Amino acid sequence: MTVPDKKGYYGNYGGRFVPETLIPVLKELEEAYHKFNKQPEQQAKLRWNLRYYAGRPTPLYYAERLSKEMSGAKIYLKREDLLHTGAHKINNTIGQILLADFMNKNRIIAETGAGQHGVAAATVAAKFKKQCVVFMGAEDMHRQSLNVFKMRLLGAEVREVTSGSKTLKEATSEAIRDWVANADNSYYLIGSTVGPHPYPMIVRNFQSVIGKEVKRQISRLGIRNVTHLFAAVGGGSNSIGLFYPFLADSTIKKIGVEAAGFGLDTGKHAATLACGKPGVLHGSLSYVLQNIDGQILNAYSISAGLDYPGVGPEHSFLKETRQVFYTSVTDSEAMNALKLLTLCEGIIPALESAHALAAALPIAKQLSSEKAIIVNISGRGDKDIGIISEYYDQNKKEIE
């Protein structure tokens, strides 16, 4: 709970691996963040916007039919999908837009994969009258065309990135290049717990509202014998947001779920913590997918929000210290879980959230009905309908 250290390291992971010109910018950001945290007026603005603009607190919902289907533990869903913009990303963008405003930065830079962070960044930029530029890979723009339209409707400029795999890795690289060139007047609003210190700490702290609420809701609702927390892991913001307030509680097992894609043995996956090695990516030292020469590999997942070849440094530390356990599920397993939740509860989750659910269901089935597990539904599935439809067409599967 005391990490990171003064240099931004979580054990062996983290730090600031950036051009020298960005070091003073990052130090300025860190100082501003600590001042922002100490000002009651700013914290009151944050609470007000989370409640009345984003829609917090989100419910902790008992999925009764799904629980009966599994004939095991009670399954509770943390409904981040009910937030404004449809995902947990708004928690962090509200916090960082207030911080940018506090620092008098009027141009916002963001990167996005699935588009949810881009939409959330564009949303708060519109609300606070900021110029917004969002970098997005060409492949993700094709997969998430609805979110591209939303960002543009909100007034953001969406810049297509056509290099490499044309996904989140390249979008992040381009956003950092823009930031290096325009650091004086621009604020880089990172969407996950990645990047150089202090970004992993800042994003984690803004997202920890998820776990703090869950703690209160468990107590208020009288939920007993919670044994597991599940959340998807790409960069790692929704999962660290759920897990962080529970790290001191060793009685509850924390399970982060990566994307196994077509299978870990195929090379077509995004399971960084399962198959990666320590290396530097986008300004920090963490687990990354790389070849024997240290070149970053392309990640793959049916979920645009999970196909990132790195992971937040705190997750690497939590894996190493075994405070959190990490597993992975395939595309097909995630799709089966998505279909089951949709039919049992009338909730279509985002593909990212479906991965967490897919890992949770077998565990729930093994436990008694006196136990309870919690799954973070980090976003809703509207953005993924085209991908889901294409999956059924390609695999010649029936929806019903």
**3-state SS assignment for residue 108:** strand
Q: What is the dihedral of CA 269, 271, 274, 277, to 10 degrees?
A: 100
Q: How far apart (Å, rounded) are the C-alpha atoms in residues 362 and 228?
A: 12
Q: What share of the chain is helix, strand, coil (3-state, %, to 5)?
A: 50, 20, 30
Catalytic-labelled residue, pool 69, 80, 111, 174:
111
Apex 93 CA angle, 130 and 354, nearest 5: 140
8 A C-beta contact, residue 363 and residue 325: no
| Number of Cβ within a 10 Å radius of residue 64 | 12
Q: What is the DSSP letter of 214?
A: H
Q: Which residues contact 258 (CB under 8 A, 6 or more apart)?
A: 232, 233, 234, 269, 270, 271, 272, 273, 274, 306, 326, 327, 328, 355
Nearest to 83 by CA among 56, 45, 120: 56
The answer to whether 89 is a known catalytic residue is yes
Could you tell me which of 122, 113, 169, 116 has the C-alpha nearest to residue 141?
A: 113
| Residues pairing with 79 in the sheet | 377
Is 378 catalytic? The answer is yes
Omega within 30 of 0 (cis) for the link into 57: yes
- Say whether 255 sits in a helix, a strand or coil: strand
User: Is-catalytic flag, 111?
Assistant: yes
Integer Cα distance of 342 and 217 in angstroms: 24
Which stretches within the chain are classed as H helix?
Answer: 23-38, 40-48, 64-70, 89-102, 116-127, 138-143, 145-153, 168-181, 199-207, 209-221, 237-243, 272-275, 313-320, 331-345, 351-366, 385-394
Which of 67, 284, 378, 383 is flagged as catalytic? Answer: 378
Catalytic entry in 30, 74, 80, 89:
89
Residues marked as catalytic: 89, 111, 378
